Amino acid sequence: MLGWSTDPRRRHPFTVLYVQLMWLRRDKLAFEGAQRTLSTARRRQRSGDAPPTRRVRWVHRVRRAQRHGMTVWSVRPRRRRAVVRVVYLHGGGYVHPLTSDYWRLVSALARTPAVVEVPAYPLAPDATVDDVLPALVALAAEDVDRLPTVVMGDSAGGALALVVARRLCDGEGPPPRRVVCLSPWLDATLSEPEVRDLEASDPMLAESGLRAAGRWWAGRRDPADPEVSPQATRLDGLPPVDVLVGDRDILRPAVETLAERARDADVDLRVHEVTSMFHVWMTRAIPEGRRTRRALVALLRTAAGTQPG
């Protein structure tokens, strides 16, 4: 079953200014060309993952542990009992570490109330999908407080969420209750012809560097392999899948491809499109980001069975 909803509201004036600033800062440079993408990634990797902010640590209980060969942060409410577990897989084109923006989203999700587990998985080009995927599947398969599990991720992490769910449903662990993909990078090859047209309106992503990052992450695999480009993955038997995407995102065409395949598959896939939104807007301190974070909390409560679906 396929559902596609569109939020047609115009951007808040603050968001208009925010996007203009993104253009002025030339945020796209981080993914313009293979060499620039690699040098930017190496610089950010040397700086390391941004840990949970002071505000997150003040509001929530935060623990850090080594699990399955990765650093995993666990964020949970201080006083309320969690009703759902979220395994959150961060984006960054498989090459960038965690940034402080992610903790804004994680903090909102924890208010569900939820246990949110955030793995700092190894990054390309030093690591590939075959190095990392088994550890992420093992993490998602864990039984934490006997809570229903939602696998969620953004961008590259959104693709990983779908791949991890596929493996779990194929017998590598208990199937998750739900999968949530935020601005997912479903086609590492960026082969859809609409990508080039959209790049002119995307203030954040450039196709040349992303293609290089996709090749590094694929390793010995073809970048079109379903475990690298899950727009081609088998959809039958997956739990409900929610995809959130903005219409200014060069990754949007692959979402359309996935949606078309879902029409004839045994899966409940719902696409939530937001007009005039850029890549992973839900992590940013803008009005639309706050609105989307509230919607994600409602989605988690539905997955936990504490709110009607």
Q: Residue 124's closest CA among 38, 43, 205?
A: 38
Query: Is 295 domain-assigned?
Result: yes
Query: Is 63 domain-assigned?
Result: yes
CATH code of the domain containing 120 = 3.40.50.1820
Query: Is 94 domain-assigned?
Result: yes
Query: Is 76 domain-assigned?
Result: yes
CA distance 29 to 264: 39
Instruction: Kindly report, residue by residue over 247-279, the tens digit of the pLDDT.
Output: 999 999 999 999 999 999 999 999 999 999 999
Query: Is 162 domain-assigned?
Result: yes
Instruction: Kindly report, residue by residue over 58-83, the tens digit of the pLDDT.
Output: 999 999 999 999 999 999 999 999 99
Query: Is 291 domain-assigned?
Result: yes
DSSP string of 238-260, one letter each residue: ---EEEEEETT-TTHHHHHHHHH
Query: Is 140 domain-assigned?
Result: yes
Query: Is 309 domain-assigned?
Result: no
Q: Six-digit token pair at 306?
A: 């504490």
Instruction: Kindly report, residue by residue over 78-111, the tens digit of the pLDDT.
Output: 999 999 999 999 999 999 999 999 999 999 999 9
Instruction: Kindly report, residue by residue over 135-181, the tens digit of the pLDDT.
Output: 999 999 999 999 999 999 999 999 999 999 999 999 999 999 999 99
Number of domains in the chain: 1
Average pLDDT over residues 282-305: 97
Q: CA 3: distance to chain centroid?
A: 20
Structural domain of 170: 2-304
